[in-house]
Chains A and B, each alone.
Chain A
Amino acid sequence: MSRSSWTGRLRDAAARELPPEKLLPDRQPAYVASWIYVFGVLTLAALAFIIVSGTLLALKGPGWWHGSAVGHFVNSLHLWSVELFFTFMVVHLWGKFFMASWRGRRALTWVTGAVTFLASVGTAFTGYIVQENFASQWIATQAKDGMNSVGIGAFWNVLNFGQMLLWHVTLLPAAVIALTGLHVLMVRVRGVAPPIGIDPATGEARTAMTGSAPTR
């Protein structure tokens, strides 16, 4: 049945692609029981810590994160959440790369993950620039030459604190969060990528399914 309104068609498509049992599953294939499959959700957990601690830093300002004990703690929480975020994301990336996780119509899942990684690099870079300390001044003046060498210094001026701060606290986090949401939705739509050689329908090795009868 085709609906006349775009909202109805969108609702039908969403219900078709993401029924509740697929959107929030309570069971997963057996091959997911591996540590290498844990690093995606670890990355999400680190991102949650980054968002919460970053929101507190934005609300309180540099006088607080440089000048009070609690501010120091939240500042460090933000930094180390980022360190863990990238550590987990890189292990997740390596695992999915060597698993060729774009198989099975998962190209958009792979692409959204890769673009999220790039957006995260930009977000972290602008974060290091807006620390409001000597390190941030050093990083900005060094990066300025790098930006100019590739011809984008006029548009992306790392010495312009206001511009970098707005990139860091609004535009880039919004991109990372939106891309992460789309990435997770694509994982839900297409399912978790199976290891190479595993039949996703049975969770068993393909050779046992398609080869000669197993010997006993």
Chain B
Amino acid sequence: MILGWPGGGSAPLAVGLDGTGKYIHWGVIQLSISNLVVIGVVVALFVAAILLPFPAGRDSEAPNRTDPPDDAGSQP
């Protein structure tokens, strides 16, 4: 698929933009496939952000932003 550039050249595209868009219809709801894909990506990102483990950092053992005194956290 080729899209004309203002400078006269052309650039290949990964998706076709010449035809009409594809839509799904569900009652009064009309949604383009491209928008549905974007929504799916955002939902997947949200789920991944909750489920994927976060890499441990240098201070991963520190439980709090407020550092306790050196002798306060010791357990008998």
Interface residues of A (CB under 8 A from B): 25, 27-30, 33-36, 38-39, 66-69, 72, 87, 90-91, 94-95, 191, 201-204
Contact = CB atoms under 8 A, between A and B. Distances in A.
A202 B56 CA distance: 19
A27 B65 contact: yes
A33 B42 contact: no
A95 B41 CA distance: 15
B65 A29 contact: yes
Nearest to B55: A33
29 contacts: A27-B62, A27-B64, A27-B66, A29-B63, A29-B64, A29-B65, A33-B54, A33-B57, A33-B60, A34-B49, A34-B50, A35-B49, A35-B54, A36-B46, A36-B50, A38-B49, A66-B6, A67-B6, A68-B7, A72-B5, A87-B45, A90-B42, A91-B42, A91-B45, A95-B46, A95-B49, A201-B64, A202-B63, A202-B64
Interface string B6-21: 1100000000000000
